Amino acid sequence: MKSLAAEQSSDAALGVLSHFRVQFYDCLYTRADALFELTDAVLCSDGPVTSLVELTLTAEHRRGHGAMYDAVNHGWLEPRRLRRLLAFTPLPRAADGRIVLAVDVSNWLRPDAPTSPELLFCHV
């Protein structure tokens, strides 16, 4: 059973996400619905996205290939409005107030890349 504080925290986080999605949609102008579905498909796809066409196969993208290409070629968003939205969206925080960030640290083999032996990986 969830505690009341955990339930309120979950509701608050859902409210922030819902507000962000509405405001993000408002940043989209031309081909807004198709761009929004394409964004959802990117965020909800399993693993890395290797091609745009594979995004049309996800459940979140309900349109066909043509709509995806039309959105990419002719869609438009307001960059200043999106920048402002990202800047004013509150950062997720843990119960003790620390900022919570998610980072993909999967390895990408590059044998020819220069290395820095003085750098360390630290998981907190």
Q: What is the pLDDT of residues 35-77, one digit of tens each?
A: 999 888 888 888 788 888 888 888 887 888 888 889 999 999 9
120 domain residue, yes or no: no
64 domain residue, yes or no: yes
**What's the structural domain count of the chain?**
1
66 domain residue, yes or no: yes
pLDDT at position 64 is: 82
pLDDT at position 75 is: 93
State which residues form the domain around 18.
4-88
CB 85 within 8 A of CB 23: yes
For the segment 112-120, the average pLDDT, to the nearest whole number, is: 62
115 domain residue, yes or no: no
Sequence letter at residue 62: R
Three-point CA angle 26, 29, 35, nearest 5°: 85
pLDDT grade for 110, boundaries at 50, 70 and 90: low
27 domain residue, yes or no: yes
Check whether 122 has a pLDDT greater than 60.
no
97 vs 111: which has the higher pLDDT: 97
CB 63 within 8 A of CB 34: yes
Q: Is the dihedral of CA 7, 92, 103, 48 positive or negative?
A: positive
CA–CA separation, 34 and 49 (whole Å): 17
